[in-house]
């Protein structure tokens, strides 16, 4: 850090800078280690940070740069579960995130699973503790230990449950059968603290409206967002709650942006102009269409990196049917093949498709560009034309946000365009 000075360390064979000494020791150990999971530069520096801090508690060496996640002395990128570093605290029952605060996306109330230093995350490894962020500063945080411990210096903390503060999805319930459906629906949604009921439909994101022996999800201006939800009262309530939860995913992903980033990307949608009807779906939160297509026609989305550094590119499609699809990179693509150099365009061709139960759809083509490789395996979800259940989905998606763990506000950016698809 800027306020620190480098310390000296006296070993058996001489005197060295403490970080240089620890770094060369860890590199030497990595070269001798045999196993299926070679180290990245970030893996090595996690161990160096712990070792240096054990010797001098006032020195915090850090690693910065776009090659941090590459394997040692190679070009392949190591893509793993995002994490932040956790350390013990002098206060009983507490831990700390010495390098992660507001700029790293830590929020008060968020819960993290903590793993031993150097743990290869994933694959059923059990955490040693669970902590909850309490005091969050610009570049560091304190956390309360909820269970387990002790926590070693250089442990890895993985986001388990995200607290979004005052970010909410507002929902209006226009339901008269208060003795059956309404209590059951409210009970089903009560476990999701970011879904708030409002008595004013005009300011809601979604409206659940009761029809004859059925429910339907609408926009505030009455545009249907679901088929009729039928069945017994309890079944209707659970099914409606499940669909609201899926829409919550969708709206949060739609709203995620980083206007203060120093990165810049362009996105264009192209296709020959289509004569005829230009109807619009009044989903006010989505915005006007940048391009109108008929079902089955091709569209080319061209992404151009206008930044001064290479970025990793990810493309999501958020359809009017509430589905979220990872369009790029393909699920079988790994390594750095989605890396885009400055000034380079990336054309992606796709076919305009309509969900089976809709005659018109608005698709948001959302591009995420980062300086750190991500895993988007948790981002996908099905739409209203597919069967849904009341369990899963919302918690699993929002607490897996990779972008919340990107190191600084300058390390990621998004851009979005809207494509309207007609029959």
Could you read off the pLDDT of 24-35 as tens digits, one per residue? 888 887 777 665
Would you state the structure tokens that stand for residue 197, as one six-digit string?
């009921």
Q: What is the pLDDT of residue 398?
A: 40
SS3 202: helix
Q: What is the pLDDT of residue 114?
A: 94
Q: What is the pLDDT of residue 142?
A: 93
Q: What is the pLDDT of residue 378?
A: 55
Please give the residue that has the higher pLDDT: either 284 or 53.
Answer: 53
Could you read off the pLDDT of 390-401 as tens digits, one per residue? 333 333 334 334
What is the sign, positive or negative, of the torsion defined by CA atoms of 381, 84, 260, 109?
positive
Instruction: Give the count of beta carbons closer than 10 Å to the beta carbon of residue 340.
Output: 18
Could you read off the pLDDT of 208-266 as tens digits, one per residue? 998 888 898 888 888 888 888 888 888 888 888 888 888 887 887 777 777 767 788 88
Instruction: Give the count of beta carbons closer than 10 Å to the beta carbon of residue 368.
Output: 26
Report the distance separating Cα 109 and Cα 324, nearest Å.
Answer: 27
Q: Look at residues 161, 125, 126 and name the one whose alpha carbon lies nearest to residue 143.
A: 161
Report the distance separating Cα 118 and Cα 39, nearest Å.
Answer: 9
Over range 71-81, report the average pLDDT: 69
Q: How confident is the model at residue 278 (pLDDT cuts 50, 70, 90)?
A: very low
| Alpha-carbon separation of residue 265 from 80, 127, 271, 327, 370 (angstroms) | 25, 38, 20, 17, 10
Whole-number mean pLDDT of the chain? 78
Residues 98/85, Cβ–Cβ less than 8 Å:
yes
Would you state the structure tokens that stand for residue 250, as one six-digit string?
């969708």
Could you read off the pLDDT of 379-391 as tens digits, one per residue? 677 777 765 443 3
Q: What is the pLDDT of residue 390?
A: 37
Could you read off the pLDDT of 130-187 as tens digits, one per residue? 999 998 886 789 999 999 989 988 888 988 877 766 678 889 999 886 668 889 899 8
Least confident window among 61-75, 84-98, 239-253, 379-393: 379-393
Would you state the structure tokens that stand for residue 252, as one six-digit string?
């949060």
Cβ-proximal residues to 34 (8 Å cutoff; 6+ apart), any chain: none
As separate numbers, helices (DSSP H) first and strands (DSSP E) second, the chain gives 5, 21
| Alpha-carbon separation of residue 388 from 174, 211, 360, 385 (angstroms) | 22, 20, 21, 9
Report the distance separating Cα 319 and Cα 241, nearest Å.
Answer: 19
Q: How far is CA 367 from the centre of its chain?
A: 13
Could you read off the pLDDT of 99-115 as tens digits, one per residue? 788 766 788 888 999 99
SS3 55: helix
The proportion of the chain whose per-residue pLDDT surpasses 90, expressed as a percent, equals 12
Report the distance separating Cα 26 and Cα 41, nearest Å.
Answer: 10
**pTM to 2 decimals?**
0.58
Over range 283-309, report the average pLDDT: 82
Could you read off the pLDDT of 316-352 as tens digits, one per residue? 888 888 888 888 887 666 545 788 999 999 998 888 8
């Amino acid at each position: 850090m800027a306020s620190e000075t480098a310390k000296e360390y006296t070993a058996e064979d001489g005197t060295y800078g403490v970080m240089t000494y620890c770094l060369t020791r860890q590199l030497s150990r990595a070269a001798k280690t045999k196993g299926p999971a070679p180290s990245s530069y970030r893996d090595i520096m996690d161990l160096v940070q712990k070792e240096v801090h054990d010797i001098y508690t006032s020195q915090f060496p850090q690693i910065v740069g776009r090659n941090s996640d590459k394997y040692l002395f190679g070009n392949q990128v190591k893509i793993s579960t995002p994490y932040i570093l956790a350390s013990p605290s002098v206060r009983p029952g507490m831990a700390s995130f010495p390098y992660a605060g507001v700029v790293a996306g830590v929020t008060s109330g968020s819960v993290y699973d903590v793993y031993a230093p150097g743990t290869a995350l994933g694959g059923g490894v059990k955490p040693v503790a669970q902590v909850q962020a309490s005091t969050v500063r610009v570049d560091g945080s304190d956390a309360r230990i909820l269970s387990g411990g002790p926590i070693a210096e250089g442990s890895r903390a993985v986001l388990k449950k995200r607290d979004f503060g005052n970010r909410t999805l507002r929902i209006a319930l226009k339901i008269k059968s208060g003795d059956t459906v309404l209590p059951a629906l409210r009970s089903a949604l009560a476990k999701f603290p970011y879904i708030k009921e409002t008595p004013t439909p005009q300011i809601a994101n979604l409206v659940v409206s009761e029809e004859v022996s059925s429910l339907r999800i609408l926009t505030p201006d009455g545009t249907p967002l679901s088929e009729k939800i039928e069945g017994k009262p309890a079944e209707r309530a659970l099914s409606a709650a499940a669909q609201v939860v899926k829409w919550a995913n969708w709206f949060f992903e739609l709203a995620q942006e980083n206007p203060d980033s120093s990165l810049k990307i362009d996105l264009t949608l192209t296709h020959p102009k289509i004569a005829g009807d230009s109807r619009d779906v009044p989903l006010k939160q989505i915005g006007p269409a940048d391009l109108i297509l008929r079902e089955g026609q091709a569209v080319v989305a061209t992404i151009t990196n206008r930044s001064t550094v290479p970025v990793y590119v990810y493309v999501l499609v958020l359809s009017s049917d509430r589905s979220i699809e990872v369009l790029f990179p393909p699920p079988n693509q790994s390594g750095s093949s989605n890396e885009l150099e400055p000034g380079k365009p990336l054309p992606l061709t796709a076919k305009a498709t309509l969900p089976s139960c809709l005659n018109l759809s608005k698709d948001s083509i959302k591009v995420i560009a980062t300086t750190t490789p991500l895993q988007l395996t948790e981002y996908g979800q099905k739409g209203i034309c597919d069967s849904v259940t009341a369990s899963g989905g919302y918690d699993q998606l929002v607490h897996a946000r990779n972008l919340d763990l990107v190191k600084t506000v300058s390390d990621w950016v998004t851009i979005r365009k809207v494509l309207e698809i007609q029959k």
